[in-house]
Structure 1
Amino acid sequence: MIPAGVLTSGAVLVMCRLPFSTVRAATDRAGSVVTVPPRGGAQLEPAWNRRPPPGFEFRFSGPCQAHGQVERERWRPVEQGLRGKRVLVTGGTKGIGRATALAFARAGAWVLAGHRTGDEAAESLARELKALGEHHRLVQADVTRRADVAALAETVRADWGGLDVVVNNVGVDGGVPFGEIDDAEWDRLIDHNVTSAYLVTQAVLDLLTDGASVVNVGSSVALRGRVNGVHYTASKAALIGFTRGLCKELGPRGIRVNTVAPGLTETEPGAGLPPHAVERIVGMTALGRICQPEDVAGAVLFLAGDTAKYISGVTLNVDGGV
């Protein structure tokens, strides 16, 4: 008999005519993703050659085809442990931040979305969050200013008393040749892409529960560099260093600190670039498409959830395999 094992969402288990000892060795670690490749022209077992629904894990118990019939199969939801968690998302009304705020709310978390300007995006998000529950709210704050960040932290303290997840999502781009960058442009990117994460995380430090999660939204360009974006590259690389250092300091409390590093993301139609530029970038990806905000949100929820409880200090690329 094959001992109980687990396939994570999206994985495919293929059972075939293999020696029983081989199958057992491949499946005796519960929680691992298992693929048993066919050998010697063996026939695949059709009952196993499929994917579980998204967000589900696949548990099995039974022998391989060479040893009789499969006894049972069942699906059950994968629990990320996000229900009831108190989550702060900065830059939460547009693009990646909006997709992340809504994803947390749909997972049962309580969401506070920070935003700088009161506009239609904020109003529409407020309506969507209200439809998902009564615990969600929006707070207007410029997280590059210490006074605004302090007020944001006090709102969290007064309303919730603590935080389980912080998503430092605020960020801006800049396309300027290095020789033309002035102090104001340099400061604009550093303030939004690095200083905001420093200010917000420090302000809520005593509100973070032991075992909390901090997720910073960086960029895969930090690992590659970009023409006409030296200041942008530098700011996102600094965020990786911030993540690595902070995870060491907060580790004794069980607090995890990680970064997601998206590639070019379609936060607006065409990602704000000419079609030929988008086509060139998409052509560099293994998956052959542009990143969507929901792709990044999925990575954020993974890092914030219980299935990533031993992951800290990592930079998780979400770039389609560039």
Structure 2
Amino acid sequence: PAPNLMKIAVIGIGAMGCLFAAHLHDVADVVMVGHWPEQLKALQQNGLIVQQPNGRRTHHPAHATNDPAAAAPADLAVILVKSLQSEQAAHIAQTALAPNGIAITLQNGLGNLETLTAVLGPHRATLGTTSTGADIVQPGTIKFAGHGLTHIANQQTNQPSIQRLAALLNQTGLETHLSENVDGLVWGKLAINAGINPLTALLRVPNGFLAENATARRIMQAAAVEAAQVAAALDIPLPYPNAAERVLEVAQATADNRSSMLQDVLRGAPTEIEAICGAVAANGRFTQTPTPINQQLLQLVQKIGNAPFTLADLQQILQEHNL
């Protein structure tokens, strides 16, 4: 690679890590770091195949490894693992980053930045949010589920590399904005995730079902509104005026998408429910804001079994909470 290319470690080789790596590969020196054996093998042997939203398949070279040192010295580490793996990802970043390199988390949920900061130090970690979606089709192949916006915190301490990342992402067609109100963006995304992810996982349905079915829609909107009320109690301004309207718009705009939590449940992997509904409920307790729907969704997903939840089960939630 040309010496003046930015060196980026993408930590996480799931659908989102692959999507960002595929885009950045044309404009930066990218190394993907992860530990999923089948995916590593497929990426190393065949590169990465992306099914575009229009159905076209594109092929991208992929430099994938399970050795963080192979990504060193990276200017930037982009963290795209599940929230349960944040601490492990922080240690990988510590090895991969150059001494002045910084890590940025684009993960779901709350608490990821704090985990990075504890390992890397306060000036070496920042955060953002992305509403772009991707699915794993099979090892080595992902489906780009549709364009969304990416927002990155514009913090004074690490501006040059963060501004450069935003410019590179925009260059590759992943629309990215720098933002001063990142707490608002994180909570804005958290409210959407709290509405959509648990219900899609429980019912085993794509996002669009929640917009079409009246029962599911009311619970989805109630969960998002609870999160917005907690954010208001924390004095965090959200990037949209009405959480009920916004979560419905997102479910409609991403109708064919299978949420990451549904994908986790279908493959028997642990979910991010604690970092999503669990975080809403915990902050609700802290601010004395009631969050009964988020608490119930948390409990239901925690004990999720092999049999999908039914609409009759949902009706019962509506009645219990007088929605």
Q: Tell me the TM-score range normalised by the shorter chain.
A: 0.3 to 0.5
Flag the structure with larger Rg. 1
Tell me the TM-score normalized by structure 1.
0.37
TM-score (norm 2): 0.37
